[in-house]
Structure 1
Amino acid sequence: MIKKIILLSAIVMPAVAAFAQQNGGMWIPTELNEQEMKELGMKISAKDIFNPNKPAINDAVVHFNGGCTGEVISPRGLLLTNHHCGYGQIQAHSTLEHDYLTEGFWAKTTSEELPNPGLYVDFITDIKDVTSQVLGANKNASDAEIKRNIDRLKEEFKLKPYQSVDIVPMYYGNKYYAFVKETFNDVRLVGAPPSGIGKFGSDTDNWVWPRHSGDFSMFRIYADKNNQPAEYSKDNVPYKPKYFLPISIKDKKENQFTFVFGFPGRTQEYLPSIAIDKIVNEIDPARIAVRDVALKTLDEKMRKDDATRIKYAAKYASVANYWKKWIGEVEGLKKSKAVQKRQQYEAKLISLNPNIKPTIETLTKLYEEQSPYAVNDAYYGEMFRNCQTLRLASNLMNLVAQQEKGKSISGEQIDYIDEMYRNYDAMLDAKVMAKVLALYQQKNNPNFLPQGFSKFSDVQKNMETLDSWTSLSLISGQKTFDGKVIYSDLSKLIKNPEFVKALKADPYYQLASELRAAYRANVMKSYNDLQEKIDHYQKEYMAEQMATDKQKKFFPDANSTLRVSYGQVKGSNPRDAVYYGYQTHLGGIMEKYIPGDYEFDVPQKLINLYNSKDYGVYKDKTGEVPVNFTATNHTTGGNSGSPVLDAYGNLMGLNFDRQWEGTMSDINFDPKLCRNIMVDTKYILFVIDKYANAKHLVNEMKVVK
């Protein structure tokens, strides 16, 4: 009996310790949950992580092109981010003759580093709570009053020419924070592994574990001779950062403390249960359905034609990313019983403060009333995102409307349309649209659709119709106006009344116009009016939660501002009798290797390195090179490329994904189920050093062995 008790304790105790982490959270760096971070193993202080007065880790972290995160890893401005974050730049430099997507790219000297017009990075130099200045004594200040206060407050900041300030709401507008940023516009491509490494596993492995992706790319920040931000110039020099991250190539251990620094995009951790129910059963399924159609159609052509593969690579990856995420989100929310748990929490809040009950009841009523409009909004938005010709038509409609109102058209608008045409196949898009139009007709309330839209219910008939349209269409680029294709001289053509008249007669323009008119007349106003009421009561509900639940530590939802999350290196037990280890290795790549496959082919040199075991200092205690690992850090979109740091603030990995079973963490984070996925720094340096023969880049870094 005594022996049985001892054995039982050996099993139970590790299970308890395994989830010592109680909270998730994406914490404002000036308001860290430092106590739990130190309980989990952190050895540095909050001031080492963010400090506006002296160099700290925040001085090495950048918002990469407004969407991803990156980090400075050398005293010469060398920047690390994900391969998929730099994918657009890698693609832009690729041709059939120099296919950097397939072959990779490595600059041997700074003179070979490639400029990227439009690419920028932002450093956050200061963060201030400005709630009192924005809201004053009136917690229910009007939007107009808040805007006036924000505009006035921005003027009071003493900024340098290359600095700006963003003042953003937190906790659904119950608090406001100012973020001071410095922007660098000269960012050059330094290195990228081939897609067989950087995108290994592609869409099949996306959002899942185990992973074996070398999802990284390298850039360099350039500055003027005074080390200040400047537009691109051949005279610019590598930026000397205030701080850069040392890189650890120590072995990972389960339960090791780790934290992530970055710019997470959007979470919704404080929604009422009714909102989660609608996401699970209505909104996500609508979005998934449209993207499922688009992806299958694109994939069929991309697998057969290399030119299409290169042209549509970034677009396909972008569409597939959230398609798969939403599928995992639905499964995770169901598995974690998120709706039921939120209902139980609401009951707890009501027991502590009965005044919350009317707020929850009002939100429930509003979400039910909004439901049919929200479903149509989801289908409508996805239709225009995934049918490129419709999206082109929509943008051209905007230009025509501006022109007719005497408003100027910006160069950015023209450039945006030009960029869309650069990676566009009208006939392929017609196949996508034929299926999406049928889906839109079948899945939506007829009262929300244009009159006579039932004619689009049949995919084959749609294909015949769109085939005939495409050959006649200005928008599709199949027909010219005065001998010019629409995108060749759009800035001048849009000012020509005859061109505008011809454009309005274009069948795609007319279809987009009819769809937009029906949406605006039948859906948009009702949807937005209800959403405005929901937002009002959500703000009230957020304030009531924070005032009522004194035992809970609250963090603001992600909104693309700088945040810190933390956790521990861990494997996972996502389903009964299934256990995943926390680390994958190079041998796992060879297990997945399929010669010539679109997703699982492996460069020959990597195979040679594996066969010869030429691993150098980059192998771990198993004798293999570690590739990816998982931990319980709370991450989301925007954390791609985020530095993953150890207890001492050394870079130990590069965040790039989440485990599929835990993608519901945007709404319901649970450290028992949610895992973020990272590239091990050992693998990154192994690829740079041994595969790319770019030892000169490693020599720039401070490597902690």
Structure 2
Amino acid sequence: MKKIILFFTMCLVAFPAKADEGMWFLMFIERLNHRDMEKLGLQLTAEEIYSINNHSLKDAVVQFNGGCTAEMVSKEGLVLTNHHCGYDAIAELSSEEQNYLKNGFWAKDKSAEMKPKSLFVRFFVRMDDVSKRILSKVNDKMTEAERNKAIQQEMALIEKENSDGGKYTVSVRPFFQGNEYYYFVYQDYKDVRLVGTPPESLGKFGGDTDNWEWPRHTADFSMFRVYADANGNPAEYSKNNVPLQPKHYLPVSIKGVQENDFAMILGYPGRTNRWMPAGGIEQNVKFAYPAWVEGAKTGMDRMKVYMDKDETVKLEYASKYASTANYWKNRQGMIDALTKAGTAVTKSKEEAKFNAWANKKANKEKYGTVIATINNYYAQTNLKSSHDNYLSQLMRTAAYGAAPANLGNALISYYKENDAKKTEMLPKLNQFIENVYGNFYAPLEKDVFAAQLNLYTSKGAAYGLPEGIAKLSQDNKGDFTTYVNNAVAKSIFATKESVLAFMKDPKPENITNDPLYVVSNELSLKMRAKTPEQLKADDDFAIAFRNLVEGLRESKMNSIKYPDANSTLRLTYGKVRALPADKRNDATVNNYTTMTGMVKKYKAGDQEFDLPARLLELNAAKDFGQYADKAGYMPVNFLTDNDITGGNSGSPVLNGKGELVGIAFDGNIEAMAGDVIFDAKLQRTISVDIRYVLWIIDKYAGAKHIIDEMTIVK
């Protein structure tokens, strides 16, 4: 292990980072990136970016509700993130009478701020390297199961040691495919309240049509506030809680940006696969992603039929539809970009060179069979990957796919217990029921479930269907519509009301014969099923992939010097950078968009391109206040060449002084292969210009009291 640690340290010194590529650990900024960043325009010390003992930029950046990023922008706990990151909370707080998604919301004061049921932010405290400690517990003679058990046991000890008696959340994560390990210490705050959101016509302007596209004109932001107890500690919601005073918050610059300005982003990128072998890329392009796209589109199309008919249903399913649509377009973009770039071919050539190195006498024992094992694994699992993605989209988009089995099994366990245990279990069971049926419309769910079963049994049959599902498909000639309607009519799990009625007069023996439970349980078991041969193949692949990454680093054949993203705090840096001129953009340089360009897209009454009358009036009057660019236009979005992915949504875009200039919210579809291979020519981050954010809050919404909280740099 000393060899691995030493090699990584050498990498930090010997291989300076490219300015635009890389998602970097903050603890290595001093050694790895700082000099390069200074050349590009950074004016901060490494200590001002990441410090354990003093406040620094990392204290102003939080993980938002587990899947996005947000930033502190006032001394009173004010938080900025994306509109689509706050979407669930905004939808939850909305009703048909008070539709904040549609109409927007701005709290007139702190007493008017609204608390959704479940929302938290996570502050990063510190991290450290525990590779040597963990890897000392394993050896090459262990099976993968034995290795994983030993690692998990050591992880648990490290997490306990650093939690300060439960004060902190600690997570130990593997990097470089299990060749290194680091622990991360966090502190979670759960009292987070909605402060403001623009109407959906602004926050989601362009809808699915413009998603992942440039030029963009989207006000993708929302605002929240973090509350704590009187001592600044995390606390459950209480009227006695007070706004959190963060260790650091970001000053907000309204000076604007221009081509080649330094740009830095801190955030929580979710997942990249830059180390993925060629066979994995090929599998995704030809098997996994096409199934994902088709399955997602099937669910979306059936949802939309009912959402368009009923405003309440539209509100209830808005978040689920938006999430499904986002990944649907993303995966299709990945197929197109990876195919066009020939990424699998490029990787295959790299792996051929590696294989030649691996089979030299000095390397053969450890690395000689790595490539063959990996390629065999993908060949064996191509059909499975297609099947699994059809099935996973069924389970994600149709509540009747997973809920009857999960809830049924929970009820079976509940009724086996004594009265005391039942009393203990009941609150969680009731919450489970509420989670399933909280946003639930049975006619829609029946339609989605039938459509997804039709698709799954048609396209997943090549790999193999569950025996009972295959028989039902045969009996119903591939059309589950009538079967699903009849099953729902007879099922305990049809609605929340039918579940509660069952619990008042329970007959637990009826659960396993329930028609929805039977289908759902078969599907769930199929999702988890692994034959001994599959388990062996998985283990062999895990060893081979780990050795591939170690061997690529040892042989210096791979230029990647940073680990894949895995929802841990990272820094990416580069510059404001235009794409080639585009006649669709009225901007002088194709690195920003304007309100003029947005109004040109305006279509009255259109679901994606409508605009509020007040915005049109303010634009006509050129009432932009202090937020207009010095050239006179009202900026909306801008481009940088930062390296981001999902999870970076809501991340702060910072200038060289650490001042907030924008909020990252998207990438461009031309570079959708970026999760697998970075394209320095095409890859861009799309961000909301902070001046547009402030203009909406101040001029459009009349919420200047929120602006007054911030430190504005003119």
Q: Answer yes or no: is 1:224 the counterpart of 2:229.
A: yes
Aligned partners of 1:374 and 1:527 also within 8 Å: no
AA of the residue aligned to 1:557? D
Paired position in structure 2 for 1:4: none
Q: Answer yes or no: is 1:651 the counterpart of 2:660.
A: yes
Q: Deviations over 1:381-425 (max 9, x none)?
A: 121111111221132133145347759757445424412312111
Q: Answer yes or no: is 1:473 the counterpart of 2:480.
A: no
Q: Answer yes or no: is 1:456 the counterpart of 2:467.
A: no
Residues of 1 paired with 2:170 and 2:527: CA distance? 36
In the TM superposition, residue 334 of structure 1 has moved relative to its aligned partner by 1.2
AA of the residue aligned to 1:41? G
Q: Answer yes or no: is 1:501 the counterpart of 2:514.
A: no
In the TM superposition, residue 517 of structure 1 has moved relative to its aligned partner by 4.2
Aligned partners of 2:138 and 2:150 also within 8 Å: no
Question: Aligned to 2:603, which of 583, 594, 608?
Answer: 594
Residues of 1 paired with 2:58 and 2:46: CA distance? 11
How high is the TM-score relative to the length of structure 1? 0.90
AA of the residue aligned to 2:498? V
* Larger displacement relative to structure 2 (402-411 or 381-390): 402-411
Paired position in structure 2 for 1:67: 67
Paired position in structure 2 for 1:7: none
Residues of 2 paired with 1:695 and 1:243: CA distance? 22
AA of the residue aligned to 2:691? K
Aligned partners of 1:572 and 1:673 also within 8 Å: yes
Paired position in structure 2 for 1:548: 555
Paired position in structure 2 for 1:439: 455
Q: Secondary structure at the match of 2:149?
A: helix
In the TM superposition, residue 609 of structure 1 has moved relative to its aligned partner by 0.8
Q: Deviations over 1:531-581 (max 9, x none)?
A: 332222111111111111178351111111111112222222499999991
Residues of 2 paired with 1:514 and 1:161: CA distance? 39
Q: Secondary structure at the match of 2:648?
A: coil
Paired position in structure 1 for 2:41: 41
Paired position in structure 1 for 2:136: 136
Q: Deviations over 1:239-283 (max 9, x none)?
A: 111110011112211122211111111111101111111111111
Question: Aligned to 1:393, which of 394, 397, 404?
Answer: 404
Alignment of 1:287-686 (within 5 A): 287-354=292-359, 355=363, 356-400=367-411, 402-403=413-414, 409=425, 411-412=427-428, 414-445=430-461, 447-451=464-468, 453=470, 455-456=472-473, 461-477=479-495, 484-486=497-499, 488=500, 497-498=506-507, 500-518=508-526, 527-549=534-556, 552-573=559-580, 581-686=590-695
Q: Secondary structure at the match of 2:610?
A: coil
Q: Unaligned 5+ residue runs, structure 1?
A: 1-19, 479-483
Aligned partners of 1:329 and 1:661 also within 8 Å: no
Residues of 1 paired with 2:469 and 2:120: CA distance? 47
Aligned partners of 1:350 and 1:357 also within 8 Å: yes
* Larger displacement relative to structure 2 (68-77 or 523-532): 523-532
Paired position in structure 2 for 1:14: none
Aligned partners of 1:261 and 1:562 also within 8 Å: yes
Q: Deviations over 1:449-487 (max 9, x none)?
A: 324626537799422332233333321229xxxxx531x
Paired position in structure 1 for 2:696: 687
* Larger displacement relative to structure 2 (74-83 or 341-350): 341-350
Q: Deviations over 1:494-540 (max 9, x none)?
A: xx650x3333332211111233345555x566545433322221111
Aligned partners of 1:41 and 1:647 also within 8 Å: yes
Paired position in structure 2 for 1:6: none
Paired position in structure 2 for 1:193: 198
Number of residues paired by the alignment?
Answer: 675
How high is the TM-score relative to the length of structure 2? 0.89
Residues of 1 paired with 2:672 and 2:535: CA distance? 27
Residues of 1 paired with 2:511 and 2:435: CA distance? 19
Residues of 2 paired with 1:551 and 1:304: CA distance? 53
Q: Deviations over 1:145-172 (max 9, x none)?
A: 2122222223332626532211111111
Aligned partners of 1:395 and 1:417 also within 8 Å: no
Aligned partners of 1:302 and 1:312 also within 8 Å: yes
* Larger displacement relative to structure 2 (561-570 or 312-321): 561-570
Residues of 2 paired with 1:139 and 1:577: CA distance? 58
Residues of 1 paired with 2:522 and 2:126: CA distance? 47
Aligned partners of 1:21 and 1:40 also within 8 Å: no
AA of the residue aligned to 2:117? P
Residues of 2 paired with 1:222 and 1:518: CA distance? 44
Q: Secondary structure at the match of 2:564?
A: coil
Paired position in structure 2 for 1:26: 23
AA of the residue aligned to 2:467? P
* Larger displacement relative to structure 2 (228-237 or 547-556): 547-556
Aligned partners of 1:122 and 1:184 also within 8 Å: yes
Residues of 2 paired with 1:451 and 1:154: CA distance? 44
Task: Provide closer, same or farther for how the CA distance between residues 191 and 139 of structure 1 changes in structure 2, counting only shifts above 3 A.
Answer: farther
* Larger displacement relative to structure 2 (167-176 or 147-156): 147-156
% identical aligned pairs? 36
Paired position in structure 1 for 2:211: 206
Residues of 2 paired with 1:411 and 1:332: CA distance? 47
Paired position in structure 2 for 1:8: none
Task: Provide closer, same or farther for how the CA distance between residues 79 and 445 of structure 1 changes in structure 2, counting only shifts above 3 A.
Answer: same
Q: Deviations over 1:209-262 (max 9, x none)?
A: 111110111011111111222111111111111110011112211122211111
Aligned partners of 1:125 and 1:180 also within 8 Å: yes
Paired position in structure 2 for 1:175: 180
Q: Deviations over 1:98-156 (max 9, x none)?
A: 11111111011111111223211111111111112222274657122212222222333
AA of the residue aligned to 2:540? K
Question: Aligned to 1:274, which of 279, 290, 293?
Answer: 279
AA of the residue aligned to 1:605? R
Q: Unaligned 5+ residue runs, structure 2?
A: 1-16
Q: Secondary structure at the match of 2:237?
A: coil
Aligned partners of 1:25 and 1:565 also within 8 Å: yes
Task: Provide closer, same or farther for how the CA distance between residues 658 and 98 of structure 1 changes in structure 2, counting only shifts above 3 A.
Answer: same
AA of the residue aligned to 1:364? N
Aligned partners of 1:91 and 1:100 also within 8 Å: yes
* Larger displacement relative to structure 2 (30-39 or 671-680): 30-39
Aligned partners of 2:454 and 2:479 also within 8 Å: no
